[in-house]
Structure 1
Amino acid sequence: MVTDLDGGAPALPGAARAERPPRLLLVGLALGTVYLVWGSTYLGIGVMVADMPPLAAAGGRFLVAGLLLGLVLALRGGRRRLRIGLAELRSCALLALLLPVLGQGMVTVAESGGAPSGLTALLVAAVPLWVLLYRRVSGERPVRSAVLGAVVGFAGLAALLAFNGVSGDFPFWTVALVAFSSVSWAFGSWSQPRLRLPRDPFVTTVYEMLIGGAALIAAGLCAGERIAPASYSAASWIAWAYLVIFGSVVAFSAYVWLLHSAPVSLVATYAYVNPVVAVFLGWLVLSEAVTVPIVAGGAVVLLAVAIVLRAERPRRKRESTEDSASDGAVP
């Protein structure tokens, strides 16, 4: 169940929610924030790792974002709001491993190795397809059109990997690592509603980011990364700060607010808008090539994601807001 940022009453379901419809302008602003900011995080990562070591930079990003969000929650709801039990802490630690560390951390490493930001976003867009696969393996029976959409999507994903592995101007291991990160992120998304977590999703996010950030920094130090803040360019620092404030705090808060203020089917459109934004910005700012295989394979993946999300919409209406939030991300 999703609570508001002030730690007040839980989100109202069904008819009660309709009694307090949010202003269309606020919904539009929040949705635009999720579209543009999350779509631009891939570009931000590419600029950040031009100078910064990937694991330490990603770890610092999440650690600082977790501290900032935790401070906001404590100031507005009291320190008691951040208290959680040992079982909840263990669940947050597991999600920290699957989402910030193996999810976003590996994306950062891949972009540091040369993976284009636009292609990275297209590969990550396949997360809803992997979630559907996990649900099918666990015994659930998704609707037939969703399964068909997933099959088409995986074909597009395979085409993206194959064509860019053969003719890409970057090491194939980078795009393979991105594919692995999307598998990990999807598993974390699928697992989240099955874990014992704090009732407040903002509190869950604070601990995920704190634990994940600390783990990434430790991994970077063990891997021999050298942390030298004075040697980083202003562009890298600006990108890092943008990812901390806008990518991890502002956009996520807007996303959670949307989940209990607007139809989930509308909020879910970020999954196929973000990659389009990322490809455009990668081409515009970083001069990344937009090849025919990337356009064709990416179009197939995004079409498949749209089919799956549309087919699953009736099911989502019967689920809780918190379960719906588990299919999201904190780019």
Structure 2
Amino acid sequence: MSATAVSARPAPVLVGAALLALYLIWGSTYLATKTALTAWPPFLLSGVRYLLAGGVQYAVIRLSGAAAPSRQDWARAAVVGICLPLFGNGGTTFSQQYIPSGLAALLVATVPMFLAVLGWWSGLTPKPTAKVMLGLGLGLGGMYLLASTKTTAPVLIPGHPGIGVVAVLLAAFMWSVGSLYSKKNPIGGSPFLGVGMQMICGGFFLLIAGLLHGEAPRFHLGGITPKAWFAFAYLVTFGSWIAFSAYIWLLRVVEPALAGTYAFVNPVVAVLLGWAFAGEALNVQMTGGALLIVLAVMLVVLGGRKTSAPQPAPAGEHQLADVED
């Protein structure tokens, strides 16, 4: 992002509308995923979603005149596809069989904390500030409270919440690894073409994971209810196209820290929707853990903001990196 792009801000109403899209749409994709999982197995759900969204996006951008990507670009897209769609989204979707969608969203909010630590260790970002370190400590406390919570909320596969917690934390970690890789190894050409390539690669790997997981015999196209079809269409249309396009645009016109505020708003939206529509009850321990994680992510994201003049951002900033569902 250039200094000119940041200083020449668009109308505040446009920025507000784009942020609202991220907050509401990405926050609601957790409930949509849980609804779709009543008829779709997890990895096939994510695989078909990403292949469809990525295939259409790639075709549209190429037909509009974008140059064909190189083999190196496809290799980079494959690495990001493994880290983000496969482990990141696939792991989060898998986890929602075992834990409530609100809890999954709260644990996914640890992504900025992983990014702060991994970015520092890899030399891509400066050493965390005191506020960031405080946020990391609070985040660990919040994760402990959430991971040790005994909930009676309805889940698809009851009795094994630990599987879901481990899966979503691994997903958050791998999402962070893929985000940093994408920043350091950007795909050339149109950023929207690169995103389509990453989704195509991720969708392919997710389908392979679904087949290895034995999901094909359990999947029956005729058994998908209208409600599950609607949830799937919502994930493709709103989650993969509209909200992500808003995020790409925000990265171009505002500071990344402002665009990244979705990380601590989405969990609040997801928890409220899960409570209102999916019977996901909240107890004192979950509420305390949620508050700690939200506060922690705010400290990590906003505490790491630079007050100096903004520098040009790497082209990879406009790829699929740093995006949750």
2:261 maps to: 269
Does 2:306 align with 1:320? no
Change (3 A) 1:294 1:193: same
What is the 5 A alignment of 1:25-174? 25-75=13-63, 77-78=64-65, 81=66, 83-111=68-96, 113-139=97-123, 140-164=126-150, 170-171=159-160, 172-174=162-164
The one-letter amino acid of 1:123's match is: L
1:4 maps to: none
Deviation at 1:266, TM superposition (A): 2.3
Conserved in 1, the CA contact under 8 Å of 2:32 and 2:234? yes
Task: Provide the C-alpha distance between the structure 2 equivalents of 1:166 and 1:290, rounded to a whole number of angstroms.
Answer: 9
Conserved in 1, the CA contact under 8 Å of 2:62 and 2:68? no
Conserved in 2, the CA contact under 8 Å of 1:55 and 1:220? yes
Task: Provide the C-alpha distance between the structure 2 equivalents of 1:306 and 1:174, rounded to a whole number of angstroms.
Answer: 25
Task: Provide the C-alpha distance between the structure 2 equivalents of 1:243 and 1:275, rounded to a whole number of angstroms.
Answer: 17
Change (3 A) 1:182 1:82: farther
1:177 maps to: 167
- Name stretches of at least 5 consecutive residues in structure 1 with no aligned partner: 2-12
Question: What SS does structure 2 have at the residue aligned with 1:163?
Answer: coil
Moved more, 235-244 or 306-315: 306-315
Task: Provide the C-alpha distance between the structure 2 equivalents of 1:195 and 1:277, rounded to a whole number of angstroms.
Answer: 33
CA deviation map 1:142-181 (0-9, x unaligned): 2222122112212211221123499996412112111111
**Percent of residue pairs identical:** 34
Deviation at 1:207, TM superposition (A): 0.9
The one-letter amino acid of 2:235's match is: L
What is the 5 A alignment of 1:177-216? 177-216=167-206
* Number of residue equivalences: 315
Change (3 A) 1:73 1:129: same
Question: What SS does structure 1 have at the residue aligned with 2:69?
Answer: coil
CA deviation map 1:98-133 (0-9, x unaligned): 00000100111111x231000000000010101111
TM-score (norm 2): 0.90
Task: Provide the C-alpha distance between the structure 1 equivalents of 2:5 and 2:106, rounded to a whole number of angstroms.
Answer: 37
Conserved in 2, the CA contact under 8 Å of 1:259 and 1:321? no
Deviation at 1:204, TM superposition (A): 1.7
Conserved in 1, the CA contact under 8 Å of 2:108 and 2:168? yes
CA deviation map 1:282-311 (0-9, x unaligned): 111101111211110111011011011112
Deviation at 1:85, TM superposition (A): 1.5
TM-score (norm 1): 0.88
Task: Provide the C-alpha distance between the structure 2 equivalents of 1:255 and 1:196, rounded to a whole number of angstroms.
Answer: 17
Question: What SS does structure 2 have at the residue aligned with 1:290?
Answer: coil
CA deviation map 1:226-273 (0-9, x unaligned): 332111111111100100010011110011011112333322211111
Question: What SS does structure 1 have at the residue aligned with 2:306?
Answer: helix
- What is the alpha-carbon root mean square deviation over aligned residues? 2.3
Task: Provide the C-alpha distance between the structure 1 equivalents of 2:248 and 2:306, rounded to a whole number of angstroms.
Answer: 20
Task: Provide the C-alpha distance between the structure 2 equivalents of 1:305 and 1:122, rounded to a whole number of angstroms.
Answer: 10
